[in-house]
Amino acid sequence: MADADRPQIYLITPARFELSRFEAELGRVLDGVEIACVRLAMETREADEIARAADVLREVAHKRDVPLVIDAHWKLVETLGLDGVHLGDGARQVREVRKALDSEAVVGAFCGSSRHAGMTAGEIGADYISFGPVTADPMLGDGEVAAHETFAWWSEMIELPVVAEGGLTPELARTLAPVVDFFALGAEVWETDDALAALKGYAEL
């Protein structure tokens, strides 16, 4: 990432939400802050529920020229008219998914703190690599943390865009800003009293 570039915000939906209420809230957020991408990341595995949410949120996002990707469920990408998928298991599925989806579909790979997994995923077709969490938290993975050095090394050595996600704070975002391309924000903003205000705070760093 060039020094003059600013990291962009990559917004992750809450794991659970009431669709009609969240539709309005997402629209408000996208109108108030520049968002590069939205990831639909629902905890449910009910295909009908995911499809209903995807149909509604796709319209909200696409109306504002923001791509919508889905977490894990890559077989739903083309069926639901989505822009891509975020894979949570490093490089394991990247080759298969890259071959199965349209060449313009986004394929992202979360690689924890592993540079090796990130490089492998990139070599076989991932469009971006995500590392995290950036804060030690028993609720976020297995306790492994993606250190600042991982992002600094990646930004210096690898051209593929890198995303920081999991346990972000404004202070960490300020520190990581020179060495990441995107900040993936989810609970960090949805669990506040005002998601739009929280996002503006990150955007202004």
Which parts of the chain have pLDDT scores under 50? 1-4
pLDDT number for residue 1:
38
pLDDT given at position 129: 98
Q: What is the domain-level CATH number for residue 134?
A: 3.20.20.70
The parent domain of residue 66 ranges over: 8-203
- Domains identified in the chain, total number: 1
> CA–CA separation, 42 vs 55, rounded Å?
14
% of the chain beyond a pLDDT of 90: 92
Integer angstrom CA distances of residue 85 from 5, 47, 104: 25, 15, 12
Q: Does residue 170 form part of some domain? A: yes
pLDDT of residue 2: 36
CA separation for the pair 127, 116 (Å, rounded): 16
CB 148 within 8 A of CB 135: no
Q: What is the pTM of this model?
A: 0.95
Domain assignment present for residue 3? The answer is: no
Matching residue, tokens 């629209």: 27
